[in-house]
Amino acid sequence: MIDLGAARGSDSLLIGPHAEVLADQLPEPTGGMAPGVATLGVGPVPVGATPSETGFDAGSFDSAVILSAWETPAEVGSVVEEAMRVVRSDGTVWLGDIDAKALTGSMPAARRYGLFYQNDPRVSADARYRYRSTDGLGVDAVRAGLRDVTETKADLPVAVIGSAAEGVEAVRSGIWPGTAVLDPASLDRLLKRMNASLQPPTRFPIVLTLPWIIVRGRRP
């Protein structure tokens, strides 16, 4: 979590569909959780909190970590502005979203999700459209008033699996964007390929990751 801007012991705001899972996995005390909003240190989360209207007082947090908290590029600005409002002066705001180009362009030998995206152009096109906001995150950060903006690429974990069966169930659960649109026969074929890729000499446990673009900035 330190790598995503939340130093140990800090008051941090987590925003996006991964917020609750991320908060559960961290050693720091969770202040509160609601769908799409979680906190470390500060709590509770106000009733009805949303990524663009969290309900917290201005300057409540040392940092904010925003991961994939929007459906379209037009929604990014309002979420970043809310993070700017609730983060203290000189605090850190991190924005992250799936790197659609890396996701859909990776080969199976390099990253297992290539089993999916390299073999289903329809799903690949859908993923590139869904995560089209990623290319403009740095610009959105600057427009919102963040300073010292930097952009990096990172593979972030989505699941730790201890067997081939766990890997198959993780994919079935939807950790790879786009699996929900597959018909049962297509999903079954994907799961069989996933299972085959996890047979010996694969050694467990292994971490399943997705590629992200992470933008970091400082609130003036």
pLDDT of residue 65: 93
Residue 27 has pLDDT above 70, yes or no: no
pLDDT tens string 188-199: 999 999 999 999
pLDDT of residue 92: 93
Could you give the CA distance from residue 66 to residue 208 in angstroms, rounded to a whole number? 21
pLDDT of residue 20: 80
Could you give the CA distance from residue 186 to residue 114 in angstroms, rounded to a whole number? 15
What mean pLDDT, rounded, does the chain reach? 91
Could you give the CA distance from residue 196 to residue 192 in angstroms, rounded to a whole number? 6
Residue 113 has pLDDT above 50, yes or no: yes
pTM: 0.88
Domains detected in the chain = 1-98+132-154+211-220 (3.40.50), 100-130+163-204 (no CATH)
pLDDT tens string 51-69: 999 999 999 999 999 999 9
Residue 40 has pLDDT above 80, yes or no: yes
Asked whether 181 and 123 are in contact (CB, 8 A), the reply is: yes
Confidence of residue 119 (pLDDT cuts 50, 70, 90): confident
pLDDT tens string 75-84: 999 999 999 9
pLDDT of residue 2: 43
pLDDT tens string 134-151: 999 999 999 999 999 999
DSSP state string for 65-118: EEES--SSGGGHHHHHHHHHHHEEEEEEEEEEEE-HHHHHH--TTT-TTHHHHT
pLDDT of residue 1: 46
pLDDT of residue 6: 56
Instruction: List the one residue out of 91, 113, 93 whose CA is nearest residue 102.
Output: 113
pLDDT of residue 14: 93
pLDDT of residue 156: 87
pLDDT of residue 159: 87
